[in-house]
Structure 1
Amino acid sequence: MISALYNGMSGLGSFQKALNTQSNNIANINTVAYKTDRISFVDMMYQNRMGKGTATVEVQKNFKEGDYKLTNNPYDLAIEGTGYFVVYDPEKDEIYYSRAGDFKKSVDGFLVTQTGEHVRGIPAAVTGDMIMNEDFPNFMASQIIKSATSVQSVNVRATDYNSSATDEIDPVTGIKTKESSAIIADIELLKADYRKKLQAYANNPTNAGTAPTNQVTAITVADYATQLNDANDSVSVTVNNTKYTQNFEGDAETTMQFLAAKIAKAEGVKDASFDPATGTITVDTLIPGENIKINSLLVNDTAYTSIATTAAVAGSGEAAMNSSYAALEAAMTRANAELTQVVTDITIPPKGTATTGVTVDVDGYGDLQLNLTELGISDNQFSNFMVDDGIIYMVQGDNKYAIAKIPTVAFNNESGLVPEGGRLFKGTKDAGEPINADYGSKVVGKTIELSNSNMGESLVELMTFQRAYEANSRSITTADEFLNIAIQLKK
């Protein structure tokens, strides 16, 4: 009978803990990324094959993924698959792990949890000068370049070349060799070419490639001095199916110089210069690696065949992209304007696999600054936050900057993590070293993971524990009655 009392008391204590555990699950039914508690019971030691009651061992977490909810809040993130976010408490100087991704931007620009811990990740290395300010109003290019080992963003802006470009005039002859409108048109062509080659490089970022060359064409009228004598004479040449004709003006040399100036205005032509000693107009093309068509040289309706062309070489990959940028930069200088470029580079660590996990040094992760002003990119701190496949992008106008990666980490023994409250877990030796979880997880934006607590199951468990508690209290009452009867019999 004494044993029955102790058995009932052990049951009361155990089911009280069970009620506490299940009530905690119900209380956290709406807690973002909450993981359900599960209590385990064990029977106690036996004597003469008679049990001595029950006890609880430990409360374990059920780490099953909860459902996902689309919130359209840009700072809400969820992990699809295994893994945890890494967060840092600056007050305690401690690293924690969490599945809760309802983040926010702090007043000083960092990505933080709702309770103020800093989200840790891999910040981008930023090279280049500040490009988003009033000095560089013109958007030129923006490109994201992804490879297995890095994510880069390349952004280019320019000063107002439409206002700064001026006509080019030969200081000796006074001939207008390049009009400002042609210089601006050249910039637009080179801008389009740079974007195209930047995109081509982004499609194959491991291709170092080869540098392109420009087409050079020599148009020679060796006897121009005897053929161009008066107003009845003229010389013409066709560039890209457009015929450029120059009537006699001043003298033969001046006439040829005026023709060169007209050719210089043609689309795809960088420069055209005349050498009076040889009677040759040398035409340099504008876009590296691209050819233009120059033919049909006529002097007073007499066809000349003295057009010699060294064809361009197209080039490829990164080298072609760099050559295109250099050509664009030169054209901007010609327009009394300036380019500025900023490159961000995020190193992507090895992913490993579920069976060959790659250990990560979470202490080497850094806080994630979101303000472009603090990153030295823009003088405007306001930008749009977005996440794609774990990469944080900040968008201002047409420019898109990759500024950080949010990594996820996993543990070989997830149950070894210790819950600390606030939806945080502490790493332990039992959990093992954190490993890169990117092999089996994906960070998605504008989404949160819900609690995996099930209201129906919890209520059923709650009623079961309640009935068990009542039954154990009844066993104590019954044992007490038996004990009183035995005492009365002895009297």
Structure 2
Amino acid sequence: MGIFGALQTAVAGLRSQSYGMENISGNVANSQTVGYKRMDTSFVDLVIDRPRDQAIAGSVRAQSDQAISLQGDILPTGENTNIAINGSGFISVSQISGFRDGQPVFSENNLFTRRGDFQLDKDGYLVNGAGMYLRGDSINLDGLITSTNGILRITDTTVPASSTEQVDYSAVLPSTAGTNFYNANNVDTLFDDPATGAPFNDDEAIEASESSDFLSRTISGGSVVVYNDAGAPIDVQLRWGKVDEDEWALFYQNDSSASGTDTMWTRLEDGGGNNAINFEPNGTMSAGSPQSFEMAAGATINGQALSEDVSINFGTEGLRQFAVPNNLLQGLELSQDGYPAGVLQDISISSDGRISGIYSNGQSFAIARVAVAQFAAPNMLKSRDGGTFEQTIDSGEPTFSPEGARIIGGAVEQSNADIAEEFSKMIVTQQAYQANTRVVTTSQQLMEATINMVR
């Protein structure tokens, strides 16, 4: 290699080290950029084809090595719309290509990113800090997927009411009913008391005129709010009455304002006409006891009609009869499956990528699912603006599936560029650059010496 070859090689070295410094500069500048993937630099030697015994050290060319598959730290943000992927995979996004009639038009080209700082915009789209719009599968309120890998837009801002169909009930009934009647007469059965002449005589309906005596002979069974088709709340008051030894009946109040001979309380029964719960000596429900009582559709409670048959479900183990403190109902647990209409208040993202709407009625429904793309060779993707990547022939086609990746809602992935590491690279690059400048200087001095030879 002559002097000019040495000079050209040194210039190539300067160019390559400058290229490396540019990548280092970009990494340092983006060390706080959400989802940023650092760009490393590697060097390839360029050798002139010469005989083995006359080979010379070649020139150099710089090339980029992308660290796309290297994950950054996961940082919780507290923002429910933020998304981080713990593991492999990319979030599918698109950018706006224009507007039509005031509405955004999106590019059909899929881009892929790890930048998950998404926020809901005024139109219901989820857009990240780089202006990229989230793609995924849309899910309706029935749980059915209506579109796949499309631009996600949260439009289900309200949910209709759902009428109550089932009330789950569990409690411990007292072996001895702690009623006012029992406290005064030492008799704990509701009906057929020969000593006092009980007024109810195994009635199915309790008249308003009998209400005071009925209340003194029963214990509270709790209350539950159920809903009709319109979402109107209906307050159901329940009372237990002991009708025989180890045998209980359940009543509901159908009209709190009834008077005279109007019915105020109604005894419940199952669909087969059974209207009492029997207990074994050990406190468990007898095998033949009803596992539920029914309130029929159309029945009115304080003027509000039930839209569906409402089953008060005990199962086989929901009720027990034991000696309990104060001889009153213990351990009551009540829940029902209806709800009023609600409006969207927030969204949350689960580990399987499902985006759920949280509504004012306390309900939560899956309304979308994040499209997670997997690549056979993720480091072969092509970098684009905004922390996005596009597929290449070398990267392979994306496979959309949340499998193999754990999505974390309320968090983002930080840059994988480490400041300390980049500064170390900067020192090495600076020294290599200076060494190449020394080669240029030395080559210049050799050229001057050669020129001076002919003077």
Aligned residue in 1 for 2:6: 4
Aligned residue in 2 for 1:87: 93
Aligned residue in 2 for 1:386: 348
Higher helix share: 1
Q: Map 1:124-143 to 2 at 5 A.
A: 124-127=139-142
Taking a change above 3 Å as real, the CA distance of residues 284 and 76 of structure 1, as seen in their structure-2 partners, is same
Q: Map 1:238-257 to 2 at 5 A.
A: 238=244, 241-242=247-248
Structure 2 distance, partners of 1:81, 1:312, is 54
Indicate conservation of the 8 Å contact 1:85/1:98, yes or no.
yes
Task: Tell me whether 20-29 or 388-397 shows the greater mean CA deviation.
Answer: 388-397
Q: Secondary structure at the match of 2:364?
A: strand
Taking a change above 3 Å as real, the CA distance of residues 471 and 64 of structure 1, as seen in their structure-2 partners, is same
Q: Secondary structure at the match of 2:81?
A: coil
Q: Map 1:395-434 to 2 at 5 A.
A: 395-397=358-360, 398-434=362-398
Question: Per-residue deviation at 1:191?
Answer: 6.0
Question: Per-residue deviation at 1:33?
Answer: 1.3
Runs of 5+ unmatched residues, structure 2: 98-106, 144-155, 168-202, 215-219, 228-241, 251-260, 280-285, 309-339
Q: Map 1:151-170 to 2 at 5 A.
A: none
Taking a change above 3 Å as real, the CA distance of residues 313 and 269 of structure 1, as seen in their structure-2 partners, is closer
Taking a change above 3 Å as real, the CA distance of residues 237 and 383 of structure 1, as seen in their structure-2 partners, is closer
Q: Secondary structure at the match of 1:470?
A: helix
Per-residue deviation, residues 176-229 of structure 1 (Å, max 9, x unmatched): 9577999xx99967969xxxxxxxxxxxxxxxxxxxxxxxxxxxxxxxxxxxxx
Q: Secondary structure at the match of 2:23?
A: helix
Aligned residue in 2 for 1:74: 80
Question: Per-residue deviation at 1:338?
Answer: 5.4
Question: Per-residue deviation at 1:114?
Answer: 2.1
Structure 2 distance, partners of 1:337, 1:136, is 15
Structure 1 distance, partners of 2:204, 2:422, is 86
- Does residue 450 (structure 1) correspond to residue 451 (structure 2)? The answer is no
Which amino acid letter does the alignment assign opposite residue 57 of structure 1?
Q
Taking a change above 3 Å as real, the CA distance of residues 242 and 60 of structure 1, as seen in their structure-2 partners, is closer
Structure 2 distance, partners of 1:93, 1:420, is 16
Structure 1 distance, partners of 2:269, 2:221, is 8
Q: Secondary structure at the match of 1:485?
A: helix
Which of 25, 38, 58 is the aligned partner of 2:64?
58
Counting aligned pairs with the same residue, the percent is 24
Instruction: Report the count of equivalent residues.
Output: 320
Indicate conservation of the 8 Å contact 1:239/1:292, yes or no.
no
Q: Secondary structure at the match of 1:457?
A: helix
Q: Secondary structure at the match of 2:10?
A: helix
Indicate conservation of the 8 Å contact 1:179/1:265, yes or no.
no
Which of 286, 293, 297 is the aligned partner of 2:278?
293
Question: Per-residue deviation at 1:10?
Answer: 0.5
Indicate conservation of the 8 Å contact 1:32/1:451, yes or no.
yes
Per-residue deviation, residues 74-129 of structure 1 (Å, max 9, x unmatched): 1221111111111122413321111111100011112222233221112213349x
Taking a change above 3 Å as real, the CA distance of residues 431 and 332 of structure 1, as seen in their structure-2 partners, is farther
Which amino acid letter does the alignment assign opposite residue 355 of structure 2?
I
TM-score of the two chains, using structure 1 as the length reference: 0.56
Indicate conservation of the 8 Å contact 1:186/1:270, yes or no.
no
Q: Secondary structure at the match of 2:67?
A: strand
Aligned residue in 2 for 1:42: 44
Q: Map 1:215-226 to 2 at 5 A.
A: none
Indicate conservation of the 8 Å contact 2:27/2:38, yes or no.
yes
Per-residue deviation, residues 220-241 of structure 1 (Å, max 9, x unmatched): xxxxxxxxxxxxxxxx964973
Structure 2 distance, partners of 1:480, 1:26, is 35
Q: Map 1:258-407 to 2 at 5 A.
A: 265-266=266-267, 268-269=268-269, 283-284=273-274, 292-293=277-278, 311=288, 330-331=296-297, 334-335=300-301, 336-337=304-305, 380=343, 382-389=344-351, 390-397=353-360, 398-407=362-371
Structure 2 distance, partners of 1:337, 1:131, is 28
Indicate conservation of the 8 Å contact 1:6/1:52, yes or no.
no
Indicate conservation of the 8 Å contact 1:3/1:52, yes or no.
no
Structure 2 distance, partners of 1:439, 1:45, is 46
Q: Secondary structure at the match of 2:28?
A: helix
- Does residue 467 (structure 1) correspond to residue 415 (structure 2)? The answer is no
Structure 2 distance, partners of 1:442, 1:408, is 10
Runs of 5+ unmatched residues, structure 1: 143-174, 193-235, 245-257, 272-281, 286-290, 295-308, 315-322, 341-376
Which of 15, 20, 28 is the aligned partner of 1:13?
15
Which amino acid letter does the alignment assign opposite residue 432 of structure 1?
G
Taking a change above 3 Å as real, the CA distance of residues 62 and 87 of structure 1, as seen in their structure-2 partners, is closer
Structure 2 distance, partners of 1:115, 1:2, is 47
Structure 2 distance, partners of 1:52, 1:27, is 33
TM-score of the two chains, using structure 2 as the length reference: 0.60
Tell me how large the CA RMSD over aligned residues is: 4.3
